Amino acid sequence: MTAIPNPEPATFIIFGVTGDLSQRLLLPALYRLFSERAIPEGFAVVGVARKMLRNEGFRTFVRDAITRAYGGVDADAWQRFASRLYYAPGDFSGQGDHGPIALVVQQVEQQHRTGGNRVFYLATPPSTFEGILTTLHKMELVRPGRRNGAWNRVIIEKPFGQNEASSRQLNVLVDRVIGEENIFRIDHYLGKETVQNMLVLRFANTVFEPIWDRRYVDHVQITFVEEEGIGGRGRFYEEVGVVRDVVQNHMFQLLAITAMEPPAVFDAEGFRNEKAKVLRAIQPIRPEDAVRGQYGPGVIRGKPVPGYRQEEGISATSMTPTYAAMRLAIDNWRWAGVPFYLRAGKRLHKKDTEIVVVFRQPPLRLFKDFDTSGMDPNILVLNTTEEEKILLSFAARVPGHQQQIRSVALDFDYARFGPAEHPPYEHLLLDVLRGMRRFFPRRDEVELQWTIVDPLLEHWDASPPADFPNYPAGSQGPAAAEEFLIRDGRQWKTG
């Protein structure tokens, strides 16, 4: 058994610290890790944003964010955590002066004995990544390798680039300023319990792996839908749209884990090698194999909600898609001929993220005298929303004299282990401090993901839709997405 390395002391420098991501997820995650003593005492946070704040104002801001996330703070834990919070106003354009940031970081390192180890988190719009990295390098705040035994690590949020070309350009910059071994392209879905459990489900159980291929699987559905709209992220969402926001990263990573071969060694390179093989076997998406949509006004949970074009910061004529459905094919020995259907969207009737493996229906001539109208194919569902669970449906005879067969289900949820230990960001931030890169996509994975969607995005940009908005908020999405599967003799799983 390989020992898990201990997290090392470090200073966390968060760019975009006043943004939605930092408030909802990053700051609460760091607070809880620190309060549970999962990270060392040699630890501090430097927040960077355009707002003019002093340290005390920043600490009040952070306390409010943590209170919203957890309903309150522990007095002792908060006092210890607050004493490690600092603020430095900064510009993200790449033209600003990061000298004040460097000065604060150096002072914090001495005061809290972080050993010179630094984690830079770019929780900012994708358009700022290149400017921030360039300026950090110019100020010698980051560099490849170690400096006096200390390391620098950079965490970059998705999407990594806007297309394959910009992704490659950003990767060249990363190699120059910090090196591939120190970049952590974060995809929080890889920190989810159910996603990490997929590997155990497949490779630690004899009942699944022998039937996990084209001989037994009819098709696979991966769904990533939300009730929420864009919140206060209008500027960000207009830059990216649904494909860049969740399909090209979250969903392709889920697909790769679902379809990958067992790695020879379950280390970072072995795991990422197998994912890359899957992505390399996927052909670029053709326009006829995809559907796009944008939500209009509607009703969710009995309350009226605005359409996308009525959201703050969105043009009244915006053509940005908030929904996408597509069919992909993996051209390898395991999956040839098995379609993978992906759908993602905002302002739909419920929040649901799941992987659905639909197995082939066996011959039913043996049961020609039975009523099989309530019988579906065997289905394995891996749900990765807050109610993380695994469900397997199978056929059973209904008791009585009616000669009926109906589908029933076995299910497992993580509540059986008690409360979930850590949300995804806690897992992944801890991995960064440990230097563990297994659940962070590698350069070639990101570039391959872009090659799959680039032709589709280029076609959509060149052919604006005439029917936007084409689904009301609170619905199941555009009618064309339902028809898309019906043409293949299949249907989206509902419920």
**Residues annotated catalytic, as ranges:** 250
Q: How far apart are CA 395 and CA 443, in angstroms?
A: 44
* Among 191, 188, 160, residue whose Cα is nearest residue 174: 160
**Which residues have a Cβ under 8 Å from the Cβ of 399 and sit 6 or more positions away?**
none
Q: How far apart are CA 12 and CA 30, in angstroms?
A: 9
* Residue 329 backbone phi and psi in degrees, to 5: -125, 135
Q: How far apart are CA 243 and CA 461, in angstroms?
A: 12
Q: What is the DSSP string of 120-140?
A: EEE-S-GGGHHHHHHHHHHTT
* Among 321, 326, 353, residue whose Cα is nearest residue 469: 321
Per-residue b/e over 296-323, b at no fewer than 16 CB within 10 Å?
bbbebeeeebbbbbebeebeeebbbbbb
The answer to whether the beta carbons of residues 174 and 134 sit under 8 Å apart is: no
Is the N-terminal amide bond of 469 cis, ω within 30° of 0? yes
- What tokens appear for 55 in the block? 């340290």
Scan for tokens 């995650």, then name that residue: 29
Angle (CA) 435-440-441 rounded to 5° is 140
Q: How far apart are CA 408 and CA 406, in angstroms?
A: 6
Q: How far apart are CA 47 and CA 49, in angstroms?
A: 7
β-pair partners for 379: 358, 393
β-pair partners for 27: none
Q: Fill in the amino acid letter for 469.
A: P
* Among 110, 43, 39, residue whose Cα is nearest residue 82: 43
Phi and psi based region of residue 181 (left: phi greater than 0; alpha: psi -120 to 50; beta: remaining): alpha
* Among 217, 44, 167, 184, residue whose Cα is nearest residue 117: 44
